[in-house]
Amino acid sequence: MTEDPLERLDREERERKQKNTGLRTTTFVLLAVAVALAGALAYIWSQKNSLVNDLESEKADLTEQMIALQSDFSNLTSDYESINHQLDTSREQVALLIDKLQKTEATNRAKIRQYEKELGTLRSIMKGYIVQIDSLNTLNKRLTADAAAARREAEDSRRANEELTQKVETLSGQVAAGSTLKARGLRMEAYNASDRVTDRSSRVTRLLTTLSLVENTLAEKGPVRVYIRVKDPEGVLLLNGNSVDFTCQGQAMQASASREVDYEGQEVELSIYLNDIPSYTKGIYSVEAYTVKGLLGKAELLLR
């Protein structure tokens, strides 16, 4: 059966319209998908840029903190060699940490977190240095004050002893009618193994007492033995193998050491060493000089 030409044209027109409609629909769907993908990509790009900016800002802030700590270490000073050596090591660690941070990408979050922990450790070390230096400075001030006080006390004691010796000499001269043998310039010094004067108790190897028997033409002439009694800070008399016994104005006494000189009425200087004492302690040592007729004088020595 032959199809009517008009019907065939109508049919073909309908089929063409159906194809066009399907094509438009497909086009619209593809456009919608493309728009959605573009929006998704734009969102992802925006989020990535925001995250990168945050990480860069975080890295910059961490860098500023490290530079501030580096400045703090540079400004921290000490008078103690051991602490200065430790400070130099810590300064090198901070500089190395800053260099590593600057060479690390901000997106490497594991490394950034590691550097934050190292920064915290260096801050704790910094606080420890500050506490240690403050403690040492406080102790040093206290020791300095104690030493100054000890020197003042020793000087006061020396002056008091000189004044007392002068008074004793004056009174003795008045009572004894000018015939009693007298001494002046009594003092005691400590020497180390190199035969140098020292005030360090740990370095003392011997003590030297010096004095002068003053001129007195009325005094008895001839051999005179001078005895010294040296006492430690606890008041214990120091004795060795050369210690001797003597009697002073009827009283039996022990001497740490002694020496005999020939006195002819003129001034005589003499020195008496005290050796072979095992050790010395910190404090004030005293010495008393005698003849068998009486006390010649006293002196003190401070050992640190």
Q: Do 10 and 125 belong together in one domain?
A: yes
Q: Do 45 and 118 belong together in one domain?
A: yes
Q: Do 71 and 182 belong together in one domain?
A: no
Domain end: 66, 101, 132, which one? 132
In a domain, residue 92? The reply is yes
Q: Which position has the higher pLDDT, 115 or 221?
A: 221
To the nearest whole percent, how much of the chain has pLDDT over 70?
84
In a domain, residue 56? The reply is yes
Q: Do 118 and 42 belong together in one domain?
A: yes
What pTM value is reported for the model? 0.43
Question: With 70 as the cut, is the pLDDT of residue 125 above it?
Answer: yes
In a domain, residue 163? The reply is no
Question: With 90 as the cut, is the pLDDT of residue 135 above it?
Answer: no
Range of the domain at 264: 176-303
Q: Which of 76-90, 108-122, 247-261 has the highest mean pLDDT?
A: 247-261
Average of per-residue pLDDT across 78-82: 76
Q: HEC string of the chain? A: CCCCHHHHHHHHHHHHHHHHHHHHHHHHHHHHHHHHHHHHHHHHHHHHHHHHHHHHHHHHHHHHHHHHHHHHHHHCCCCCHHHHHHHHHHHHHHHHHHHHHHCCCCCCHHHHHHHHHHHHHHHHHHHHHHHHHHHHHHHHHHHHHHHHHHHHHHHHHHHHHHHHHHHHHHHHHHHCCCCCCCEEEEEEEEECCCCCECCCHHHCCEEEEEEEECCCCCCCCEEEEEEEEEECCCCCECCCCCCEEEEECCEEEEECEEEEEEECCCCEEEEEEECCCCCCCCEEEEEEEEECCEEEEEEEEEEC
| Per-residue pLDDT at 173 | 52
Domain end: 106, 132, 158, which one? 132
| Per-residue pLDDT at 144 | 80
In a domain, residue 147? The reply is no
| Of the candidate ranges 28-32, 119-123, 263-267, the one whose mean pLDDT is the lowest | 28-32
Q: Do 122 and 225 belong together in one domain?
A: no
Question: With 90 as the cut, is the pLDDT of residue 301 above it?
Answer: yes
Q: Do 104 and 186 belong together in one domain?
A: no
Average of per-residue pLDDT across 216-228: 89
| Of the candidate ranges 3-12, 76-85, 111-120, the one whose mean pLDDT is the lowest | 3-12
Domain end: 79, 108, 132, which one? 132
In a domain, residue 78? The reply is yes
Q: Do 77 and 189 belong together in one domain?
A: no
| Per-residue pLDDT at 196 | 95
Q: Do 124 and 184 belong together in one domain?
A: no
Instruction: Look at the alpha carbons of 6, 8, 11, 16 in this order and tell me if their dihedral is positive or negative.
Output: negative
In a domain, residue 143? The reply is no
Q: Do 222 and 291 belong together in one domain?
A: yes
- Total structural domains in the chain? 2
Q: Do 84 and 193 belong together in one domain?
A: no
CATH number of the domain to which 223 belongs:
2.60.40.10
In a domain, residue 140? The reply is no
Q: Considering the chain, what is the average pLDDT of its residues?
A: 82
| Of the candidate ranges 46-55, 113-122, 174-183, the one whose mean pLDDT is the lowest | 46-55
Task: Specify the amino acid at residue 211.
Answer: L
pLDDT tens digit string along 152-206?
888 888 888 888 778 777 655 555 556 678 999 999 999 999 999 999 999 999 9
In a domain, residue 141? The reply is no
| Per-residue pLDDT at 178 | 61
| Per-residue pLDDT at 39 | 67
| Per-residue pLDDT at 259 | 93
| Per-residue pLDDT at 27 | 73
State the number of CA atoms in the 13 A half-sphere of 5 facing the CB.
Answer: 0
| Per-residue pLDDT at 212 | 93
Question: With 60 as the cut, is the pLDDT of residue 130 above it?
Answer: yes
| Per-residue pLDDT at 296 | 93
Q: Do 299 and 188 belong together in one domain?
A: yes
Q: Which position has the higher pLDDT, 136 or 198?
A: 198
Question: With 60 as the cut, is the pLDDT of residue 293 above it?
Answer: yes
